[in-house]
Structure 1
């Protein structure tokens, strides 16, 4: 069995999408607003092949509302790192219920890996990259295994490392869609108001980007929205996304 598994691991599997596919979609939907783009894709070529990944953070309600408006059965993946704010977990349940989401999938870290690599639960304090890999990257990889594409809530204005964010990119052979890549804060706020969406309860306290409790702090005036993440560490992303302060190769 082990030998056969090793042989299978060496077989090349063609990716579901390529850089050329991402470039073609970028051109196809140029100038098309996010709701219309999602309406076409979710009931078209990506139906049954795509999931929406959400942190249920400060701005997550906008994208989740767009997805639910098209198809409430689209799977929504949430990685519970077991270091989340209690407010985030409550907000997740409230928002999912309000939007009528039917397929919320919660993934957690592998307890065996935690016992081996973070038995104290304090890895975040000395190796945040390793902690994110254990608690976010690995669970999400498992969660995405059935899908050819996924939807991300990243936005270009959130940080200097996201300014060149495209709407379509390739991540481990999957199509990754960033519908709100070109949205700014004013447009997000207007969408919240128009659709009367609830805000994350920590946003009013100055938490403009909300991740795990130990690694999230309030944002100071004039800082990037994500400045409160991993403060005092040379780290800007959890590992699920790569920085995009460069021209995308598509």
Structure 2
């Protein structure tokens, strides 16, 4: 559940001192904000670290606040960006009366670090399109605490890391000149198996809008959805992360 809003790279001529076509200087933009994330999905484990001898499923639900940050270096129609997003989810699962366990508490801490290269291939006075590609590093830390009916509790945890190459395109529309604009982009990426991970197809989409307070500062509000799949020989997660994000962007 990720939502974020960033200033689009197509408004260079008004936001910067040089035009799109002739600009030979670099411009830099920083976006920081908070992200209200929510997560839902299934997690299964079988023999995780030898403590669990059956398969169970847990459901993540709830919402929490997390952080988002992005740095962009822009020159003409070309831009390089790096961004960071984190989340935190915890949920309690109560087993049925025939289970060996009374309940478990499952906590997940996903962290995403990505880098992109973007090229704006079309622009007019109100709309623009770009294409971008890059990688996203995914770090998931899971902690499962099982409460046995007779012998107390046992904690198990693991941290997994994998990389998604991604390619996508963005469409930007400015309905009211430079004072207001809306932004929509959709991108898809493949998960690359590694460290015993199973490869899956993931998808990310984003819808956002922003308001330019002045030439240097813009407030953004958006909604983002990330479909997450990963697994090992003992662990499988199929989840969606989504939520709203409020950020502010500035040039320097």
How would you bin the TM-score normalised by the shorter chain? Answer: under 0.3
Normalization by structure 2: what TM-score?
Answer: 0.22
Identify the structure with the greater helix proportion.
1
Normalization by structure 1: what TM-score?
Answer: 0.22
Identify the structure with the greater strand proportion.
2
